[in-house]
Amino acid sequence: MSKMNLTRRGVLKTGAIAGAGVAAPTIFTAQSAAAFTNEPTGSSVTLGFNVPQTGPYADEGADELRAYELAVEHLNGGGDGGLMNTFSSKALQGNGIMGKKVEYVTGDTQTKSDAARASARSMIEKDGAVMITGGSSSGVAVAVQALCQEAGVIFMAGLTHSNDTTGKDKKANGFRHFFNSYMSGAALAPILANNYGTDRKAYHLTADYNWGYTTEEAVRTSTEAMGWETVAAVKTPLTQTDFSSYIAPVLQSGADVLVLNHYGGNMVNSLTNAVQFGLRDKLVNNKNFEIVVPLYSRLMAKGAGANVKGIFGSTNWHWSLQDEGSKAFVKSFGTKYGFPPSQAAHTCYVQAMLYADAVERAGSFNPCAVAEALEGFEFDGMGNGPTLYRAEDHQCFKDVLVVKGKENPTSEFDLLEIVEVTPVSQVTYDASIFGGELGSCNPGA
Amino acid sequence: MEAIILQILNGLDKGSAYALIALGLTLIFGTLGVVNFAHGALFMIGAFCAVTLSRILTLSHTVVDDTQTDFLGNPLKVDVPYVMDWFGETTGAAIIDWAVPLSILFAIPVMIAIGVIMERGLIKHFYKRPHADQILVTFGLAIVLQEIIKYYYGANPIPTPAPAAFKGSFDFGAMLGFDPNIIIYPYWRIIYFAFAAVIIGAVFAFLQFTTFGMVVRAGMADRETVQLLGINIDRRFTLMFGIAAAVAGLAGVMYTPINSPNYHMGMDFLVLSFVVVVVGGMGSLPGAVAAGFLLGILESFASMREVLAVLPGLNQIIIYLVAIIILLTRPRGLMGRKGVMEE
């Protein structure tokens, strides 16, 4: 009769060895079947376009989607090729990406972080998207970027302007072509000084969320550095629609400039209210009262109508640029859709192209190979002049446009005019100033 | 002192919008006993009546201007409104400029019709259902209405400016002996307040001094007895729903120059308006008006920089804070009647 000597430690040891034995073949099989998440195995590759299709930014999302559809058409060899003709890299051949036909799925971010994460997750897990791109909000961008990092896919951000996206919340799998709050402040300040002088008193109204804070900080720092004084900075709720109670006390404060750190509906309403109060007709401290909108969007300018006339702001790109890349993109987009593209459409189109080009140059869809190809990549011909995808924070560095609301627009699209193209050297900063860690690339699987 | 006067002025126009929407809401609740969560959507549709009329007035034909080019480098196509062809450039431009005030005439029949269709087509089927069902169906209706508007007009705000004659602001400070530029207030907001006062007065006068109004008030107090007298109170209540819709719609029309209308604007006002109705007292018309102005003014004061420095975030909770205090001290609201919503 044998005696079984069962001990707790013995059972655990045996279980661990048996578990490793059973699991080992699976791990090796999994590695050999897919080296990274959603490795394309057939004749096509799926990209996930995560844009706001409902909610307050639905129009901006629709323009982003138009741009992505145009990019897919060009990548697959359709249309006139768009920016592929002017892009300094010639890796793309119009035969899809690495010979695989480009297909896409779309998700609706609703401009809500949780909804955006859910739609991105669904595109990755159910539809097999190998890359996620798009969006019209920094909150959404940061949330989806973190998800893509965990899932092991590349995230090519859409319209997101907060410093945090490639600052404290940056991720190794995430990349941003759009500019940020710091760059807006750095580009705007000298223009404001030239036009309004260095002895000014500024009053900030700031949307009470992440993007608002970084924009206020950037504009304050830049304008104070050239001599302006900030007399007050008031946070306004994101849900605010009538800003009269915030605007009425501005003149009492002795301020002679109002800076509206607002975007979207907030910007349309606060600017409309400020103009209604006749602020721009007033003379304060023996100077004309002025309004500044740090981040302009043509779609938002359209909402504010004639109120934008003469008001300075910054933008990532504008359809009236006359470089070959911009002209090619406006021609492709305008011919297909009948109106010029917005800056949101431009950045999304460029991000899709940059991703495809990076895959071709890397010779792989592996996110880590793609990230390596994008890091430190210098390119031109995409509408913003010579551009660098900085390796340290995955932020694009390029010239920044300072624009002004046009006095005599010829159409509903002709609302902004370019005042200055601020050179990239003036808006470049040290990658460490916003903190955060890129971490290491995650291929997933 | 100047800051206080300024915030009272601010509160008056904000309160005007709350009061007008809450007046319609409480009118519907008082007559039909329905909690109408689609009332904010009626405010939004009213605003889009102004957008629609403004688009009708700017219906254009295209003229090619060879001296200018469009974004693709082709000769620029310039839209010339038909009204300018028919009435001449100056008169045509003036008609377009006055689109918002003209929209009042357009919105009244449209909003009454929408109100009557809404009541007869959907809401009457929910009279005998619990309030929760009414809230669900009217909230669903509000979502449907705003999605329809978004489908046709897009998600972006649409600028609908006031006539040029009313642009700019009035210097109250100079009039009251203060320094100039200290207490300024936009002309259109003054007009909005006056307009709201006229509408509120007209609704009260209609209910107080007409036979129709007398029957409606009797019906609000005791519906069954009025029916026993052989009066078709349902038809009158249906019309009251139409009038309430028109009041909300007119509030929306006149609000368009203050904030560019978008499909979501009704929801922005809806919750606040319900708080106004509850604070004023369910079913009380004067209560709704008083609470509308009270909460509008308090909200303005809570947004002052000096207040926010002491109590940050007060601007976001003030209305709900006041609602809690009033309901704790006066559970029926400011002017609530015994028996309403208490069965």
Under 8 Å between Cβ of B180 and A249: no
Give the pLDDT confidence score for residue B147 in this predicted structure: 92
Q: With a cut of 90, say whether residue A57 has pLDDT above it.
A: no
* pLDDT tens readout for residues B268-277: 888 888 888 8
Quick one: A44-179+319-389 is in which CATH superfamily? Response regulator (3.40.50.2300)
Q: Closest chain B residue to A59 measured between Cα atoms?
A: B155
What torsion, rounded to 10 degrees, do the Cα atoms A124, A126, A129, A131 define?
-10
Q: What is the ipTM of this complex?
A: 0.83
Q: With a cut of 60, say whether residue B341 has pLDDT above it.
A: no
Q: With a cut of 60, say whether residue A25 has pLDDT above it.
A: no
Higher-confidence residue of A342 and B315: namely A342
Q: Is A273 in Cβ contact with B181 (below 8 Å)? A: no
**Partner residue opposite A59 with nearest CB, options B154, B303, B304:** B154
Identify the band that residue A32 occupies on the pLDDT scale cut at 50, 70 and 90: very low
Look over chain A and give the mean of its residue pLDDT values, rounded to a whole number.
Answer: 90
The least confident of A76-80, A247-251, A347-351 is A247-251
Look over chain B and give the mean of its residue pLDDT values, rounded to a whole number.
Answer: 89
Residues of chain B with Cβ-Cβ distance to A303 below 8 Å are 156-159, 260, 262
Give the residue from A295, A289, A283, A291 showing the smallest Cα distance to A307: A291
From the number of C-beta atoms within 10 Å of its C-beta (0-12, 13-18, 19+), residue A286 rates as exposed
Chain B neighbours among A 265-304 (CB < 8 Å)?
A: 265, 268-269, 272-273, 276-278, 281-284, 299-300, 302-304
Higher-confidence residue of A342 and A245: namely A342
Calculate how close chain A gets to B86, using CA atoms only, in Å. Answer: 23
For the segment B238-248, the average pLDDT, to the nearest whole number, is 93
**Partner residue opposite A330 with nearest CB, options B11, B71, B168:** B71
For the segment A349-365, the average pLDDT, to the nearest whole number, is 97
Higher-confidence residue of B154 and A398: namely A398
CA A367 to CA A91: how far, in whole Å? 18
CA B183 to CA B218: how far, in whole Å? 46
Say which residues have a Cβ less than 8 Å from residue A236's Cβ, sequence separation at least 6. A205, A206, A207, A208, A243, A246, A262, A266, A270
Q: Is B189 in Cβ contact with A268 (below 8 Å)? A: no
Residue B260, classed as helix, strand or coil, is coil
* pLDDT tens readout for residues A136-195: 989 999 999 999 999 999 999 999 999 999 999 999 999 999 999 999 999 999 999 999
CA B104 to CA A124: how far, in whole Å? 51
Q: With a cut of 50, say whether residue A390 has pLDDT above it.
A: yes
The least confident of A353-357, A401-405, B69-73 is B69-73
Give the residue from B271, B224, B257 showing the smallest Cα distance to B97: B257
Give the pLDDT confidence score for residue A152 in this predicted structure: 96
Give the pLDDT confidence score for residue B177 in this predicted structure: 80
Residues of chain B with Cβ-Cβ distance to A277 below 8 Å are 169, 184-186
Assess A306–B contact: CB distance below 8 Å, yes or no.
Answer: yes
Identify the band that residue B209 occupies on the pLDDT scale cut at 50, 70 and 90: very high
Q: Which two tokens stand for residue A147?
A: 């998800």
**Partner residue opposite A305 with nearest CB, options B159, B189, B316:** B159
Identify the band that residue B53 occupies on the pLDDT scale cut at 50, 70 and 90: very high
- The alpha helices in A34-154, defined as continuous H runs, are 58-75, 113-125, 138-151
Calculate how close chain B gets to A29, using CA atoms only, in Å. Answer: 49
Strands A283-284 and A287-288: antiparallel
Q: Is B76 in Cβ contact with A245 (below 8 Å)? A: no
Give the pLDDT confidence score for residue B313 in this predicted structure: 82
For the segment A203-218, the average pLDDT, to the nearest whole number, is 93
Where in chain A do CATH 3.40.50.2300 domains reside? Answer: 44-179+319-389, 182-315
For the segment A266-292, the average pLDDT, to the nearest whole number, is 91
Give the pLDDT confidence score for residue B56 in this predicted structure: 96
CA A316 to CA A402: how far, in whole Å? 9
Give the pLDDT confidence score for residue A226 in this predicted structure: 93
**Partner residue opposite B305 with nearest CB, options A249, A307, A330:** A249
> B314-329 and B285-302 are packed helices; what angle lies between their axes, rounded to 10 degrees?
140
For the segment A364-391, the average pLDDT, to the nearest whole number, is 97
CA A176 to CA A157: how far, in whole Å? 5
Residues of chain B with Cβ-Cβ distance to A251 below 8 Å are 181-182, 184
Assess A57–B contact: CB distance below 8 Å, yes or no.
Answer: yes
Q: With a cut of 50, say whether residue A65 has pLDDT above it.
A: yes
Q: Where are the domains of chain B?
A: 2-329
Chosen for mutation from B171, B178, B181 (greatest number of chain A CBs closer than 10 Å) is B181
Q: Closest chain B residue to A57 measured between Cα atoms?
A: B155
For the segment B182-201, the average pLDDT, to the nearest whole number, is 91
Q: Is B71 in Cβ contact with A340 (below 8 Å)? A: yes
Give the pLDDT confidence score for residue A22 in this predicted structure: 44
Under 8 Å between Cβ of A257 and A228: yes
**Partner residue opposite B76 with nearest CB, options A245, A304, A410:** A410
Residue A408, classed as helix, strand or coil, is coil
Calculate how close chain B gets to A249, using CA atoms only, in Å. Answer: 7
Calculate how close chain A gets to B169, using CA atoms only, in Å. Answer: 5
Chosen for mutation from B191, B262, B303, B306 (greatest number of chain A CBs closer than 10 Å) is B303
* pLDDT tens readout for residues A250-262: 988 889 999 999 9
Identify the band that residue A27 occupies on the pLDDT scale cut at 50, 70 and 90: very low
What torsion, rounded to 10 degrees, do the Cα atoms B225, B226, B228, B231 define?
180
Calculate how close chain A gets to B47, using CA atoms only, in Å. Answer: 15
Architecture label for domain A182-315:
3-Layer(aba) Sandwich (3.40)
Assess A414–B contact: CB distance below 8 Å, yes or no.
Answer: yes
In the numeric block, the tokens 């605003």 are attached to B47
Give the pLDDT confidence score for residue B332 in this predicted structure: 86
Q: With a cut of 90, say whether residue B180 has pLDDT above it.
A: no
Give the pLDDT confidence score for residue A1 in this predicted structure: 38
Q: Is A268 in Cβ contact with B157 (below 8 Å)? A: yes
Q: Which helix (H) or strand (E) element contains residue A212? A: helix A210-225
Beta bridge partners of A421: A401
Q: Is B155 in Cβ contact with A59 (below 8 Å)? A: yes
Give the pLDDT confidence score for residue B268 in this predicted structure: 82
The least confident of A384-393, B157-166, B302-311 is B302-311
Chain B neighbours among A 224-263 (CB < 8 Å)?
A: 232, 234-235, 237, 239, 241-242, 244-246, 248-249, 251-253
Q: Is B184 in Cβ contact with A277 (below 8 Å)? A: yes
Three-class DSSP labels, B305-325: HHHHHHCCCHHHHHHHHHHHH
Report DSSP letters for B54-97, one per residue.
HHHHT-EEEEEEEEEE-TTSSEEEEEEEHHHHHH-HHHHHHHHH
Q: With a cut of 90, say whether residue A9 has pLDDT above it.
A: no
- How far does CA A405 lie from the centroid of its chain? 22
Identify the band that residue A13 occupies on the pLDDT scale cut at 50, 70 and 90: low
Q: With a cut of 60, say whether residue A16 has pLDDT above it.
A: no
Q: Which two tokens stand for residue A249?
A: 């006390």
Q: Closest chain A residue to B302 measured between Cα atoms?
A: A245
**First and final CA of chain A: distance in angstroms?**
50
Q: With a cut of 80, say whether residue A79 has pLDDT above it.
A: yes
Q: Which helix (H) or strand (E) element contains residue B185? A: strand B184-186
Give the pLDDT confidence score for residue B103 in this predicted structure: 96
For the segment A203-220, the average pLDDT, to the nearest whole number, is 93
Assess A58–B contact: CB distance below 8 Å, yes or no.
Answer: yes
Q: Is B305 in Cβ contact with A232 (below 8 Å)? A: yes
Residue A51, classed as helix, strand or coil, is strand
In this complex, how many residue pairs, one in chain A and one in chain B, have their CB atoms less than 8 Å apart? 132
Q: With a cut of 90, say whether residue A436 has pLDDT above it.
A: yes
For the segment B89-114, the average pLDDT, to the nearest whole number, is 95
Give the pLDDT confidence score for residue B343 in this predicted structure: 53
Give the pLDDT confidence score for residue A91 in this predicted structure: 97
Give the pLDDT confidence score for residue B139 in this predicted structure: 93
**Partner residue opposite A331 with nearest CB, options B72, B257, B268:** B72
- The alpha helices in chain B, defined as continuous H runs, are 2-32, 39-57, 82-87, 89-97, 99-121, 131-153, 172-176, 187-209, 211-221, 223-228, 233-255, 265-280, 285-302, 305-310, 314-329
Give the pLDDT confidence score for residue B28 in this predicted structure: 87
CA A234 to CA A206: how far, in whole Å? 6
Give the pLDDT confidence score for residue A11 in this predicted structure: 47
Give the pLDDT confidence score for residue A87 in this predicted structure: 97
| Proportion of chain A above pLDDT 70, given as a percent | 92
Q: Closest chain A residue to B6 measured between Cα atoms?
A: A248
Residues of chain A with Cβ-Cβ distance to B258 below 8 Å are 242, 272-273, 276
Q: Closest chain A residue to B300 measured between Cα atoms?
A: A245
Q: Which of B74-83, B129-138, B245-254 has the highest mean pLDDT?
A: B245-254
Q: Closest chain B residue to A304 measured between Cα atoms?
A: B159
Calculate how close chain A gets to B148, using CA atoms only, in Å. Answer: 12
Residues of chain B with Cβ-Cβ distance to A320 below 8 Å are 71
Q: Is A331 in Cβ contact with B14 (below 8 Å)? A: no
Q: Closest chain A residue to B269 measured between Cα atoms?
A: A241
